[in-house]
Chains A and B, each alone.
Chain A
Amino acid sequence: MALDQMNEMSDETLLDLYGQGDPAAARALTLRLTPRVLGYAARLLTDRAEAEDVTQEAMLRLWKMAPDWRSGEAKVSTWLYRVVTNLCTDRLRRTRGVDIDAVPEPEDDQPAADERLQQATRMAALDKALATLPDRQREAVVLRHIEGLSNPEIAEILDISVEAVESLTARGKRALAAALSDQREELGYSNG
């Protein structure tokens, strides 16, 4: 089957095809899910190399689980986010006391002429602020505000109630706002 046709298929259908031994489904899932998993892992770990390891491990678990996948019980993306969350949590616990300073510093003295550089500066600042949040708050904020998931989906991924998700995201957002409040001008936002 052509890759174009597979682009219109759901993750669940592709995983089912993969489970039947379709290599094109493996390629389609790789291209579709790897960026998503990597982006989420990178936000949680703030370390590209670690995030790549987690991505490969999470995808490996997906491949192994495929023959036992039962359609209709859950979304592949929800399952995958949960695996990534757990893998990242394990890594963060092992390296507790993670070096916040390892997050790239916004380049303060860089002229704001280059918009791409300014954007990179803002993303680095966001990552650094996210790294200061407690694990659960960070996971909930990233899933809600960056990955764009609904509160019930996040509740399923984190295995908590929807109310707890709302509380975590609200507190996380307040903490982030406080952490970034003194950098508004540096990040290119006016005080107006």
Chain B
Amino acid sequence: MVKHTEDHSHLDLLFQEARETSVEPSTDLLARVLDDGLAHMPVAEVAVAPVSCAPAWRRFLSALGGWPAAAGLVTAAVTGVSIGYAAPGPVGNVTSGFGLEIGTGYDVVDLIPSMDGFYAEVEG
């Protein structure tokens, strides 16, 4: 038992000496480790204004005022085209519906400007 104690104290001295004996890395090893570190280092985040990468149609929509504004615009356009495309009915149909017989002899078509009227004005 005494022998063990002596052996361990002898060993403890060795351990202490080993702790105090630092292993110095070579400059080459330090350079390799640092090179690896710099090569794999995450890129520092720089505060920059975010660049918009939205598609052109989305930016156009945003300039119009968004989806509600675009919906209103489309509705107005479709309505305008349909009114222009559909032939208007005679006014007489409406007036006779109220039981009135005006009998002007004119139809709505007569009120639409024509090329004949244009030439008459030019010659006059």
Main secondary structure of the interface of B (DSSP, over half): helix
B79 at the interface (CB under 8 A from A): no
A148 to B41, CA, bound (A): 31
Residues of B within 8 A of A (CB-CB), count: 32
Does A42 contact B23, Cβ atoms closer than 8 Å? yes
Q: Mostly helix, strand, loop or mixed at chain A's interface?
A: helix
A180 B40 Cβ-Cβ under 8 A:
no
- How many pairs of residues, A versus B, come closer than 8 Å at their CB atoms? 104
Distance of A144 Cα from B18 Cα, bound (Å): 12
Interface residue total, chain A, C-beta cutoff 8 A: 44
Q: How far is the CA of A173 from the CA of B8 in the complex (A)?
A: 8
Q: Chain B residues near A56 (CB, 8 Å)?
A: 29, 32-33, 36
Q: Do A146 and B19 form a contact, CB below 8 Å, given A21-B42, A180-B14?
A: yes
Measured between beta carbons, the chain A residues less than 8 angstroms from B7 are: 177-178, 180-181
Whether A39 and B41, one on each chain, are in contact in the complex, defined by CB atoms closer than 8 angstroms, is: no
In the complex, B101 has a CB within 8 A of chain A: no
Tell me, in angstroms, the Cα distance from A67 to B41 when the chains sit together: 9
Q: Is A19 an interface residue (CB 8 A)?
A: yes
Known: A26-B34, A38-B25, A63-B40. A122 touches B8 (CB 8 A): no
